[in-house]
Structure 1
Amino acid sequence: MKRLIYFVAVMALATGCRKYVEIDQIGKRTPTYTKDYRALLDNNSQLEAGFSLTIYSGDDTRFLDSSKQAIMTDINGNAYTWQPQYWSDTQSDGDWDKLYKAIYTCNEVLAGVMASENGTDADKKQLFAEALTHRAYAYWCLVNIYSAQYDAATAATDLGVPLLLTPDLFASLQRASVAAVYNQITGDLKQAVDALPALPDYNTRPSKAAAYALLARTYLMTRDFTTARSYAEQALALQNGVLDLRDYATSVAAFPYRLKDPEVIFSKINAGFYQGGIQLDTALLSLLGTKDMRYALFVKPGGNFFPAFTGYGYWRYRYSREGNTITQGPGVPEMMLIKAECAARAGDAVTATNVLNSLREKRFLTTDYTAYTPGTPAEALSRVVDERKREFFGTGLRWFDQKRLNKDAAFAKTVTRTFKGVNYTLEPNSNRYIFPVGTKYILLNPEIAQSPR
């Protein structure tokens, strides 16, 4: 019984409680009908959440203002300086909790929806496929945050994350290998595709385009560039709308909500709260340049934030009109850049450059835009990497690029920063690219191994 208590103590944060598993409670109902499972999967407060702390860890953020550093929470400060542990023995990891809560909900659906009542077989299969896709996204986040970068030579033995595939409170919490988690992600997505609509009714729901986009992301992380490009192209064949930022040069009043944004393939949003603003690195600002519409629209002086700070901060999420919402799910620009990167790595600088130009022409006023001309594949690849920095800054996605690009000698870099008068250094391929597991969870469940530090 003690083990169950310990398990529930951890998973209560990741599952809410067992109220949907066995017993009808007052005011609650055990899922019985197909529509009950639709309601579970449409609970965006549980299933749309992504991650937060990588926003502090990545090199596109740089909190230079001492007053900004002074008000940073201990957890955020620890992530910003790549500490061995981010949380005290009693503090919870919000990203870990929310992602495992989403997985538990998906597992509930997978366990029960096909036997549910008053639904068509097609409806049940679609809900089953949606749950697989949501679960795959959550595991993509977890394995890329808390585990070593995928390396074909070591993935079978590198620590992944606990791989929970049923709503079983007695399931093992031992960490599966990185390879096993990746195999689960790709297997879930490939299983899901056939039962999903090409495009969703709402971009918070999975679709074929979303599954293909997540497969492209996943294979990019494994350095299977041929397969990543294929899935990116399949996603783009279904959805390829790109915002023309020139349309908002004089007014952002019509800037779209994320649920209406043609670039968003699968809406996933940050799990944290950044009311005080995300201060941007000066090297990033130099890379952007003031003529880039992403600078003009998505960067504001620190005096626009509260509390104010020196330097400049990330502003795009302020246009969401839905709180501090940062989009982290796969989108059209990301698929274009995956296609371009994979083309460059295959030696096709012309295709890579053409794709880059088709994106960049919508990121500059006509008078400020100069198209790239094809150079060498190495030059094209470098341009793609820089464009990813410009396109995804402030979202937390840069952290994953830093981590995977350490495998390329041309892009591996040492990052240094000063925080409260102390200098910190992050070396390429350091274990500090692997987030720790919160001590609280290991104390409650010693079978969970700590990340290498």
Structure 2
Amino acid sequence: MKKKLSVTIKIMAVLMVACLSSCNDFLEIVPKGEKIPTTLADFDALLRDEYGNQRTDITQATLLLNDKFESTSNLNYYKLYSANYFWQEDADRIAFNNSDEGTYYNSYMAISTSNLIIEHAAEATEATEADKKQLIAQAKFLRATNYFVLANYYADTYEEGNAESKLSVPLITSADIGAPYTQVSIKEIYAFILKDIEEAIPDLRAAGATILHANLGAAYALSARVHLQMGQYDQALAAANQALAQNDKLFDWTAFYNQYKTQIEQPNVYTNAPSPMGYDYVENYNFRHGVSYFAGNETNIRTDRATRFEQGDAKFASRWKVRTVGADTYCKSIIRGFFNYGGMTTTEVYLIKAECLARKGDITGAMSTLNTVRKKRILSSYYADLTATTTQEAVKLIQRTKGNELILGITPFADMRRLNKDPDYAKTLSKTENGSNLSLSPTSHMWTMPFPQGAIKNPGNGTLNQNVNK
């Protein structure tokens, strides 16, 4: 992980390999300090660019959910932040989205790297055929991961009845400069994502070279996530079980809390305990950075968001602590290090399995699976098994835990969008802000983010249409 090419080298490599078919006269002119990837190690270094390719920035989704606390200065300065944070239905977010382009361009940069590896790594030197196939499979996993984020950010959520008629995001399958693309339907992008995962699985191994390299468990876990988003519960359950067969470990947050209890509970002390959610987190299938991608504190969260955690939740108590600074009161992050916000974890897979069991009528199995996670989260003095008598009741309890467990990642946003299409689970968000009562309807257009202005004004070799009016 520490041996990686810089983003500059990566971009130069992408551009140079993309030009191989038309720039032969210039192949001998390599910029000083740069190189054309030829060996498998060269291509592998591109995949391992963790601060470029292995990062998922979903700032606006966390703002819309009100899962994070945002500073007054940022809200005053960034109009897009303010529009999403305060649920301003009349705001022209398209006009405001002229600087917050990280989600779009970071994702497509990773997709471009994936395309480069998929197209050219088969000819790499200094590698076995099995190693080359594995790297290509890992690139397909990376590409599928980024298309899932894009599809669940800039397009409507998947609904079988209209997925074929609604537009999703640009599908780019070549690293060539100026490669043509099509803004495909929601149905087509999901089919492509699943195809990438299915093609990757035969060539992946139980463990990758690093936690940034997708392994077999990560592919099954991502498959489970995608099938759940599509409402395909049989397929999601099967994939979840296959992922858990690869890794079913859960981190014991109650033990972590007790280890740092004195530090955590000391009033007005915000000394940082080490984050267990980094590269070696036992729950990791793979690791991806989130909004914060250097070692540091987590994002602070709102105090009203904190009330949705269960009483006695050791994971919450280990991560945040109420603090007042001036006029602002919020839950301050109290652990420091790295945080796996964008990768697949066993917790997510357990909770996917739980929902699938509930949807299939196995309420007992669903709650048992949910409680397996909760036993590692809820302090013993507060713990009691949760029970349910209906699918709806079980799914709501599962989603409460899932939203808390995966807070600040893409999954709570994708889940909320998915469940908002079902009247049994649709939820209106509400809050009081500066004396005003605000709400966000489950049918609001704001659940789909607008493409950034840079992408619309410079669409490249294709046509890009906005999926929202504002």
Residue type at the aligned position of 2:399? V
1-structure distance, mates of 2:183, 2:438: 29
Asked if structure 2 preserves the Cα contact closer than 8 Å seen for 1:92 and 1:440, the reply is no
What whole-Å deviation, never above 9, does each CA across 1:124-180 have from its counterpart, x for those lacking one? 101110100000000000001000110111111211100000112222344111111
Q: How many angstroms does 1:380 deviate by?
A: 1.7
Q: Quick check: 1:312 aligned with 2:330?
A: yes
Residue type at the aligned position of 1:140? F
1:301 counterpart residue number: 322
What whole-Å deviation, never above 9, does each CA across 1:268-295 have from its counterpart, x for those lacking one? 121358979433251x433324421123
Q: Quick check: 1:140 aligned with 2:148?
A: yes
2:18 counterpart residue number: 21
SS at 1:151 equivalent: coil
1:8 counterpart residue number: none
1-structure distance, mates of 2:386, 2:404: 16
Instruction: Give runs of aligned pairs for residues 350-429 of structure 1, distance below 5 A.
Output: 350-417=364-431, 425-429=439-443
Q: How many angstroms does 1:220 deviate by?
A: 0.7
Q: Structure 1 residues 292, 89: CA separation in 2 closer, same or farther (over 3 Å shift)? A: closer
Asked if structure 1 preserves the Cα contact closer than 8 Å seen for 2:274 and 2:337, the reply is no
1-structure distance, mates of 2:100, 2:75: 22
Q: Quick check: 1:95 aligned with 2:103?
A: yes
Selected match of 1:345 from 359, 380, 395: 359
Asked if structure 2 preserves the Cα contact closer than 8 Å seen for 1:416 and 1:425, the reply is yes
Q: Quick check: 1:261 aligned with 2:281?
A: yes
1:75 counterpart residue number: 80
Q: Quick check: 1:188 aligned with 2:204?
A: no
Percent identity among equivalent residues?
Answer: 26
Asked if structure 2 preserves the Cα contact closer than 8 Å seen for 1:333 and 1:359, the reply is yes
Please identify, of 79-88 and 118-127, the stretch whose mean Cα deviation from structure 2 is larger.
79-88
1-structure distance, mates of 2:405, 2:77: 26
Q: Quick check: 1:56 aligned with 2:72?
A: no
Residue type at the aligned position of 2:330? Y
1-structure distance, mates of 2:44, 2:410: 30
1-structure distance, mates of 2:421, 2:255: 38
- Stretches of structure 1 lacking an aligned partner (at least 5 in a row): 1-11
Q: How many angstroms does 1:80 deviate by?
A: 2.1
Please identify, of 184-193 and 423-432, the stretch whose mean Cα deviation from structure 2 is larger.
423-432
What whole-Å deviation, never above 9, does each CA across 1:306-364 have from its counterpart, x for those lacking one? x666433263xx53424xx4522221011000000010111111100111111111112
Please identify, of 370-379 and 432-441, the stretch whose mean Cα deviation from structure 2 is larger.
370-379
Asked if structure 2 preserves the Cα contact closer than 8 Å seen for 1:278 and 1:394, the reply is no
2:162 counterpart residue number: 154
Asked if structure 2 preserves the Cα contact closer than 8 Å seen for 1:144 and 1:400, the reply is yes
Normalising to structure 1: TM-score of the pair?
0.87
Residue type at the aligned position of 1:58? L
2-structure distance, mates of 1:244, 1:414: 33
Asked if structure 1 preserves the Cα contact closer than 8 Å seen for 2:274 and 2:336, the reply is no
1:280 counterpart residue number: 302
Asked if structure 1 preserves the Cα contact closer than 8 Å seen for 2:40 and 2:124, the reply is yes
2-structure distance, mates of 1:276, 1:193: 33
2:4 counterpart residue number: none
1:251 counterpart residue number: 259
SS at 2:381 equivalent: helix
Normalising to structure 2: TM-score of the pair?
0.84
SS at 2:286 equivalent: coil
Asked if structure 1 preserves the Cα contact closer than 8 Å seen for 2:69 and 2:301, the reply is yes
Q: Structure 1 residues 164, 70: CA separation in 2 closer, same or farther (over 3 Å shift)? A: closer
1:335 counterpart residue number: 349
1:9 counterpart residue number: none
1-structure distance, mates of 2:15, 2:138: 22
Q: Structure 1 residues 231, 246: CA separation in 2 closer, same or farther (over 3 Å shift)? A: same
Asked if structure 2 preserves the Cα contact closer than 8 Å seen for 1:132 and 1:188, the reply is yes
What whole-Å deviation, never above 9, does each CA across 1:33-76 have from its counterpart, x for those lacking one? 1221111112212221112221111143465x8x4675563332
2:451 counterpart residue number: 437
Residue type at the aligned position of 1:452? V
What whole-Å deviation, never above 9, does each CA across 1:375-416 have from its counterpart, x for those lacking one? 333322221111112212233532212101112212212224
Please identify, of 329-338 and 265-274, the stretch whose mean Cα deviation from structure 2 is larger.
265-274
- Stretches of structure 2 lacking an aligned partner (at least 5 in a row): 1-7, 20-26, 261-272
Selected match of 1:110 from 100, 113, 118: 118
Residue type at the aligned position of 1:47? N
Residue type at the aligned position of 1:228? A
Residue type at the aligned position of 1:450? Q
Residue type at the aligned position of 1:302? R
Please identify, of 91-100 and 180-189, the stretch whose mean Cα deviation from structure 2 is larger.
91-100
1-structure distance, mates of 2:233, 2:68: 28
2-structure distance, mates of 1:329, 1:435: 22
Instruction: Give runs of aligned pairs for residues 115-130 of structure 1, distance below 5 A.
Output: 115-130=123-138
Q: Structure 1 residues 245, 309: CA separation in 2 closer, same or farther (over 3 Å shift)? A: farther
Q: Structure 1 residues 18, 419: CA separation in 2 closer, same or farther (over 3 Å shift)? A: farther
What whole-Å deviation, never above 9, does each CA across 1:93-122 have from its counterpart, x for those lacking one? 011110000000011111100011221101
SS at 1:250 equivalent: helix
SS at 1:154 equivalent: coil
Number of aligned residue pairs = 431
